[in-house]
């Protein structure tokens, strides 16, 4: 049975400051290529909460400056580790070197995890400039409708004790 995700409610991504700094630092470190990683935490109806980020290797060899991919085996290992810690994969992050923090048609086409947050950090001349988040919503069954990104606000939270 397919379920519509998203809707009229305001979407929020809550992230602790340490995790937010880590994804920005990763974007700056990998510049001028795109960085990528996984967001771990907990799902909520309107808010996904991030308590940890896992930096990943960009598996794209053909155009790492404007594309990214996370190896399936790396993703499975991250998911297993997250489950052992009582966490979920609540999203993904990547950078846009010298481009806006706005999703591209490629970002949407290659996004498959409904309900997850997709965070994009623009990096200008090696410095993280802006970070935005988008929730993948829509239908799991393409016969019922299309998936789309809905912008969600980012709120930094007090660092979680874990």
Q: What is the DSSP letter of 21?
A: H
Percent of the chain with pLDDT over 70: 90
**Cis peptide preceding 32, ω within 30 of 0:** yes
What integer pLDDT is reported at residue 139 of this predicted model? 78
Mean pLDDT score, 103-128: 96
pLDDT band at 8 (very low <50, low <70, confident <90, very high): low
Give the CA diameter of the chain: 46
Give the pLDDT score at 5: 47
Over 50: is that where the pLDDT of 122 sits?
yes
Beta-carbon neighbour count of residue 138 at 10 Å?
A: 19
pLDDT for residue 161: 40
Note the pTM of the prediction, 2 decimals. 0.89
Summarize pLDDT for 40-77 with one digit per residue, the tens. Answer: 999 988 899 999 999 999 999 999 999 999 999 999 99
Considering only CA atoms, which of 91, 93, 87 is closest in space to residue 41? 87
Mean pLDDT of the chain: 91
Could you tell me the domains of the chain? Answer: 12-156 (3.40.140.10)
Higher pLDDT, 141 or 18: 18
The one-character DSSP state at 144 is G
Across 6-20, 63-77, 118-132, least confident range: 6-20
């Amino acid at each position: 049975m397919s379920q519509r995700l998203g809707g009229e409610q305001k979407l929020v991504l809550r992230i602790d400051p340490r995790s937010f700094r880590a994804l920005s630092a990763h974007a700056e470190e990998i510049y001028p290529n795109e960085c990528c990683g996984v967001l771990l935490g907990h799902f909520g109806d309107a808010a996904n909460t991030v308590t940890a980020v896992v930096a990943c290797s960009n598996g794209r060899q053909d155009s790492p400056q404007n594309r990214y991919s996370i190896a399936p085996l790396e993703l499975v290992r991250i998911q297993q580790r997250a489950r052992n810690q009582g966490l979920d994969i609540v999203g993904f992050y990547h950078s846009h070197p010298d481009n806006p923090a706005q999703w591209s048609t490629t970002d949407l086409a290659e996004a498959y995890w409904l309900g997850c947050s997709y965070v994009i950090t623009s990096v200008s001349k090696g410095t993280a400039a802006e970070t935005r988040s988008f929730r993948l919503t829509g239908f799991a069954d393409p016969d019922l409708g299309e998936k789309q990104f809905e912008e969600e606000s980012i709120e930094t939270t007090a660092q979680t004790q874990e």
